[in-house]
Structure formats: structure tokens, C-alpha cells
A and B are shown apart, each in its own frame.
Chain A
Amino acid sequence: MTPVHLSFSSAFVLGLMGLAFHRTHLLSALLCLEGMMLSLFIALALWTLQFESTSFSTAPMLLLAFSACEASTGLALLVATARTHGTDRLQNLNLLQC
């Protein structure tokens, strides 16, 4: 693996592990999701630049637009959680607990 490839691949996997093992706050999970989107943007943009396939430049732009949608939906969920449960701590989201 070239170093650039290794760095954005490990950035994606790090964000994924941070999302899987999030500890207390819902917002840290959303931030890890944003980190994954950042690594995907860098990956697609580097695909365009290093293979010189310039018409593929639209892919990172569209990815950014869709990731903005996803971030805003996640933040709306966060705001709704904070409004109903008082905080975004995950231990408060225990409605399904027996």
C-alpha cells in the first residue's frame, strides 16, 4: 500500500472504530461519522487527482453534499434527544431496557 492510501484507509477504519466504541455522548459518535466522511472525501479526491480522471471530480462534491444531509439529520436527532431526555448521554436512552 502506498503511504497516502494507507493513511486515508486507516483514517476511515479509525473513524469506524470510534463510532463502534463510542462511550458516553451521542455527539462523539456523530463526530466520528464526520471523520469517516472526511476520509472518504479525501479518498475520492485523491482517486481523481492521482489517476488524472478529471471528470470524476464530481464524485467528491456529491459526496460532500450527501454528507451534509446526513450530518444535519444526525444533529437534528441529537437536538431531539437533548430536548426529550435532557442530555445526549447514551445511558439515558434506555426506553427499550427491560
Chain B
Amino acid sequence: MTYFMFMLLVALIVGLIAVASNPTPYFAALGLVVAAGVGCGVLVGCGGSFLSLVLFLIYLGGMLVVFAYSAALAAEPFPEGWGSRCVAGYVLVYLLGVILAGGMFWGGWYEGSWIIIDNLKEFSMLRGDVSGVAVMYSFGGAMLVICAWVLLLTLLVVLELTRGLSRGALRAV
């Protein structure tokens, strides 16, 4: 189980290196999908199955799908994957940086467990993260209202930015 968690953490870092090395956005979106998938696995390994499901549905299924078809706006005739010279250089530099950071922050490596060990203290129907999110609807009601307001405001912002015609937000003239 610890080895499985290790593979998931390595895949998270490799996925984000794949995004940060700035290839053509098609490949960067693929790297981000892989990183989000293994991020969900990391959360499940630590006992947060509900938060992992939320990440999968909202982040992967909502936001990244929009990014994937927006990648059509960044179409180029000769896409650069991770094999092209410039991008491979960035990948090597970021890999070296992560290894150096791991070597620098070596202290405390064995302090905790990689996975949950003692989770069932008492018998309960609900898991911790599920009932924790329910707090958002009771004591955190004010934050929920603010969140809804912000989402409505963002809708109006997006509609204003993409108004087009002669009153759009970005003009080249």
C-alpha cells in the first residue's frame, strides 16, 4: 500500500512536470488529466474518498473538459511534444530541481506514515470528509452564499469579456 502511494506521488510530480515544461497545450492538458487522476488516488489512499470523488467530477469532468476543447484555440501545424529539444530541456531541469529539493528537505522523511493507519476509532455510518462537507450547509452557510454570489458574478464577468462586436474587452485597435 505504501509502494502504491509512492507510485501515485511520483506520477503526480511527473504529471505536473509534463504540464510545467510547456509543450503544445494538447499534451499539457493530457499531463494535467493524469496528474488529477493520480491526485484523486492520493486522496483515496489517505482516506478521503468523498473529496476524491468531488475532485474527479468537478475538476476533471467539469473544468478540464472545458480546457480540453479550448485547446482547439491553440492549434499549431507542428505541435511540440516532450521529445522536442526545448521542452525536453525544461523537463530535465524540473526533474533535477525536484530531486534537489528532495535531497535538501530530507529531514523528517520518516516522521509520518504514507498512508492512514488508524482510522476507525468508533463505529459510524459517515466518513469524516462527508460529514465535514455537510458543515458547509449548516455553520458555513454564509460562505456558501458568498460562493454562490461569486459564481454568479463570474458568469457576468465571462459574458462581458466575450461580448465581442465593437464592445468587447480586448481590442487590437
Which chain A positions have C-beta within 8 A of B54? 60-61, 64
Which chain A positions have C-beta within 8 A of B16? 11, 14-15, 18, 35, 38-39
Q: In the complex the two chains form, is A78's CB within 8 Å of B70's CB?
A: yes
Which chain A positions have C-beta within 8 A of B90? 21
Which chain A positions have C-beta within 8 A of B70? 27, 75, 78-79
Q: Could you tell me the dominant secondary structure of chain A's interface residues?
A: helix
Which chain A positions have C-beta within 8 A of B135? 55, 57-58
Which chain A positions have C-beta within 8 A of B158? 72-73, 75-76
Q: In the complex the two chains form, is B150's CB within 8 Å of A69's CB?
A: yes
Q: In the complex the two chains form, is A73's CB within 8 Å of B154's CB?
A: yes
Q: In the complex the two chains form, is A80's CB within 8 Å of B161's CB?
A: yes
Q: Please, how many residues of chain B have a CB less than 8 angstroms from a CB on the other chain?
A: 83
Which chain B positions have C-beta within 8 A of A49? 43, 46-48, 51, 116, 128-129
Which chain A positions have C-beta within 8 A of B151? 65, 68-69
Q: In the complex the two chains form, is A6's CB within 8 Å of B105's CB?
A: yes
Q: In the complex the two chains form, is A35's CB within 8 Å of B32's CB?
A: yes
Which chain B positions have C-beta within 8 A of A17? 20, 94, 97
How far is the CB of A87 from the nearest CB of chain B, in Å?
Answer: 8
Residue B147 interfacial (CB < 8 Å): yes
- Interface size on A, as a range, is 35 or more
- Residues 47-91 of A at the B interface (beta carbon under 8 Å): 48-50, 52, 54-58, 60-62, 64-69, 71-73, 75-85, 87-88
Which chain A positions have C-beta within 8 A of B98? 10, 14
A26 to B129, CA, bound (A): 36
Q: CB-CB contacts of B106-141 with A at 8 A, as 1s and 0s? A: 111101101010000000000011011101100110
Given contacts A4-B112, A38-B55, 5 further A-B pairs with CB under 8 A are A4-B46, A14-B94, A39-B16, A75-B70, A84-B170
8 contacts between A and B (CB under 8 A): A1-B109, A10-B101, A21-B90, A24-B22, A38-B16, A60-B51, A69-B153, A73-B158
Partner-B contacts on A (CB < 8 A)? 1-4, 6-8, 10-11, 13-15, 17-18, 21-28, 30-32, 34-35, 38-39, 41-42, 45-46, 48-50, 52, 54-58, 60-62, 64-69, 71-73, 75-85, 87-88, 95
